[in-house]
Structure 1
Amino acid sequence: MVSILTNSSAIAALQTLRSLTSHLDDTQQNISSGLRIGEASDNAAYWSIATTMRSDNKSLSAVHDALGLSAAIIDTAYAGLNSVIDILGEFSAKLVASKQDGVDKGKVQKELDQLKQAVTGIANSASFNGQNWLKTDLSDIFDPDVTRTSLVASTTRNGAGDFATQMLDFSLADVSLFNSTGGGLLQRDPRDVNTIGGIRGFSLSPSSDATPYIQESGEDGWMRPAYANPTGAMVEFSFPEGSSLDFNAPGAEIKFDLILDKEASNPWNETGPEGSLQELPGPYFDGFKQLGVTITKADVDAYDPSLGGIVTTNDKFAEILDRKLEPLGASAYGDYDRGIPPDYLRTEHNPILMTIASKEEHGTGSYVEIANLTATNIGTGGLVEKYRYGQRGSGTVLGFESFQLGKVGDTEEGVRVDFKFSINGQPATSHSFDRAYVNTLLNRDDGRVETAGDMVTLLKSLLDADWKLVIEAASPSQIIIKSDPNFDRETGYGSSLAFSNIRVNIEPIPSLNFLSIDVAEHPESVDAYITYMNTATQRIIDGTSSLGALRSRVDRQTDFVQSLMDANTSGIGTLVDADMNHESTRLKALQVQQQLGIQALQIANSQQQSILQLFN
Structure 2
Amino acid sequence: MTSILTNTSASSAIQVLRAINSNLAATQGQASAGLRIRTAADNAAYWSISTTMRSDKMSISAVADALGLGAAKVDTAYAGMEAVIDVLREFKAKLVAAKEPGVDKAKVQSELDQLKQMVVSIATSSGFGGQNWLNTDIGQIYDLKANKVSLVSSFSRSSGSVSIGTIDLHLDEISLFNTAGGGLLQADPRDVKTIGGMRYGTVYPESGSSTIYYTETGSSWMNPTWNSGAAGTFSFNFPHGSPLDFNSPGAEIKFDIILDREYDPSGDTGITAELRDLPGPYDPGHTKTITITKAHVDAYDASLGGIISTNTQFAGLLNTLLNPEGAHVNANYGHYQPPGSNNWIHDDVLMSVETRQMHGNGSYVEIANLSSVGVSTGGLTQKSDYGERGSGLSLQFDPFTLHIDGDTPDGVEVSFQFSINGAPSKSYEFNRTYVNNLLGKDTGAIETADEMVTLLRSLLDADWPDTVIQVSSADPSKIIVKSDPAVDRKWGAGTRAGFSDIVVSIEPLPAINFLNIDIKQNPDLIDHYLNYIEVAGQRVVDGAAVLGALKQHIDMQSEFANKLMDTIDKGVGRLVDANMDLVLTRLKALQTQEQLAIQSLHIANNNNEAILQLFR
Give the shorter-chain TM-score range: 0.7 to 0.9
1:46 Cα deviation (Å)?
1.4
Find the counterpart in structure 2 of residue 577 from structure 1: 577
Find the counterpart in structure 1 of residue 396 from structure 2: 399
Find the counterpart in structure 2 of residue 185 from structure 1: 184
| Segment drifting more, 605-614 vs 90-99 | 605-614
| Segment drifting more, 423-432 vs 146-155 | 423-432
Asked if residue 156 in structure 1 is aligned to residue 156 in structure 2, the reply is yes
The CA distance in 2 between the partners of 1:210 and 1:422, in whole Å, is 30
Find the counterpart in structure 1 of residue 198 from structure 2: 199
Asked if residue 461 in structure 1 is aligned to residue 477 in structure 2, the reply is no
Find the counterpart in structure 1 of residue 488 from structure 2: 488
Does the CA-based 8 Å contact 2:140-2:146 persist in structure 1? yes
Does the CA-based 8 Å contact 1:360-1:492 persist in structure 2? no
Cα distance change of structure 1 residues 289 and 219 upon mapping to structure 2, 3 Å threshold: farther
Find the counterpart in structure 2 of residue 142 from structure 1: 142
The CA distance in 1 between the partners of 2:420 and 2:367, in whole Å, is 31
Find the counterpart in structure 2 of residue 58 from structure 1: 58
Cα distance change of structure 1 residues 207 and 5 upon mapping to structure 2, 3 Å threshold: closer
Cα distance change of structure 1 residues 137 and 217 upon mapping to structure 2, 3 Å threshold: closer
The CA distance in 2 between the partners of 1:288 and 1:155, in whole Å, is 91
The one-letter code of the counterpart of 1:263 is: R
Does the CA-based 8 Å contact 2:214-2:508 persist in structure 1? no
Does the CA-based 8 Å contact 1:136-1:180 persist in structure 2? yes
The CA distance in 2 between the partners of 1:576 and 1:165, in whole Å, is 27
- Which SS does the other structure have where 2:495 is aligned? coil
Does the CA-based 8 Å contact 1:72-1:128 persist in structure 2? yes
Q: How does 1:239-250 map to 2 (within 5 A)?
A: none
- Which SS does the other structure have where 1:74 is aligned? helix
The CA distance in 2 between the partners of 1:603 and 1:230, in whole Å, is 131
Does the CA-based 8 Å contact 1:392-1:485 persist in structure 2? no
Find the counterpart in structure 2 of residue 250 from structure 1: none
Asked if residue 286 in structure 1 is aligned to residue 285 in structure 2, the reply is yes
1:109 Cα deviation (Å)?
0.8
Residue deviations 1:172-216 (CA, integer Å, cap 9, x gap): 111111111111111111111111111111232335379543546
1:228 Cα deviation (Å)?
3.1
Asked if residue 170 in structure 1 is aligned to residue 169 in structure 2, the reply is yes
Find the counterpart in structure 1 of residue 261 from structure 2: 263
| Segment drifting more, 565-574 vs 260-269 | 260-269
The CA distance in 2 between the partners of 1:262 and 1:154, in whole Å, is 80
Q: How does 1:596-607 map to 2 (within 5 A)?
A: 596-607=596-607
Find the counterpart in structure 1 of residue 12 from structure 2: 12
| Segment drifting more, 108-117 vs 449-458 | 449-458
Structure 2 residue runs of 5 or longer lacking an equivalent are 235-253, 292-327, 332-350, 372-381
Cα distance change of structure 1 residues 288 and 412 upon mapping to structure 2, 3 Å threshold: farther
Does the CA-based 8 Å contact 2:196-2:398 persist in structure 1? yes
Q: How does 1:35-46 map to 2 (within 5 A)?
A: 35-46=35-46
Q: How does 1:37-436 map to 2 (within 5 A)?
A: 37-159=37-159, 161-206=160-205, 208=207, 212-215=211-214, 220=219, 223-229=222-228, 262-264=260-262, 268=266, 280-281=279-280, 284=283, 286=285, 360-363=354-357, 365=362, 394-436=391-433
1:15 Cα deviation (Å)?
1.6
Cα distance change of structure 1 residues 418 and 595 upon mapping to structure 2, 3 Å threshold: same
Asked if residue 532 in structure 1 is aligned to residue 532 in structure 2, the reply is yes
The CA distance in 2 between the partners of 1:218 and 1:16, in whole Å, is 94
Residue deviations 1:514-562 (CA, integer Å, cap 9, x gap): 1111111111111111111111111111111111111111111111111
1:420 Cα deviation (Å)?
1.1
The one-letter code of the counterpart of 2:468 is: V
The one-letter code of the counterpart of 2:144 is: P
The CA distance in 2 between the partners of 1:77 and 1:289, in whole Å, is 81
Q: How does 1:558-573 map to 2 (within 5 A)?
A: 558-573=558-573
1:368 Cα deviation (Å)?
7.7
1:223 Cα deviation (Å)?
2.2
The CA distance in 1 between the partners of 2:458 and 2:125, in whole Å, is 51
The CA distance in 1 between the partners of 2:570 and 2:463, in whole Å, is 73
Does the CA-based 8 Å contact 1:419-1:432 persist in structure 2? yes
The one-letter code of the counterpart of 2:79 is: A
Cα distance change of structure 1 residues 56 and 581 upon mapping to structure 2, 3 Å threshold: same
* CA RMSD, 1 decimal: 3.6
- Which SS does the other structure have where 2:165 is aligned? strand
Does the CA-based 8 Å contact 1:269-1:389 persist in structure 2? no
Does the CA-based 8 Å contact 1:393-1:485 persist in structure 2? no
The CA distance in 2 between the partners of 1:59 and 1:395, in whole Å, is 69
Find the counterpart in structure 1 of residue 470 from structure 2: 472
Structure 1 residue runs of 5 or longer lacking an equivalent are 236-255, 293-326, 331-356, 375-384
| Segment drifting more, 360-369 vs 142-151 | 360-369
Cα distance change of structure 1 residues 269 and 432 upon mapping to structure 2, 3 Å threshold: farther
The CA distance in 2 between the partners of 1:204 and 1:288, in whole Å, is 48
| Segment drifting more, 364-373 vs 534-543 | 364-373
The CA distance in 1 between the partners of 2:416 and 2:184, in whole Å, is 27
Q: With structure 1 as the length reference, what TM-score do the two structures score?
A: 0.77
The CA distance in 2 between the partners of 1:461 and 1:186, in whole Å, is 37
- Which SS does the other structure have where 2:614 is aligned? helix
Cα distance change of structure 1 residues 442 and 32 upon mapping to structure 2, 3 Å threshold: same
Does the CA-based 8 Å contact 1:285-1:365 persist in structure 2? no
Does the CA-based 8 Å contact 1:262-1:365 persist in structure 2? yes
1:412 Cα deviation (Å)?
4.0
Does the CA-based 8 Å contact 1:91-1:112 persist in structure 2? yes
The CA distance in 2 between the partners of 1:117 and 1:290, in whole Å, is 77
Does the CA-based 8 Å contact 1:263-1:367 persist in structure 2? yes
Cα distance change of structure 1 residues 373 and 52 upon mapping to structure 2, 3 Å threshold: same
| Segment drifting more, 7-16 vs 509-518 | 7-16
1:423 Cα deviation (Å)?
2.2
1:439 Cα deviation (Å)?
1.5
Cα distance change of structure 1 residues 605 and 187 upon mapping to structure 2, 3 Å threshold: same
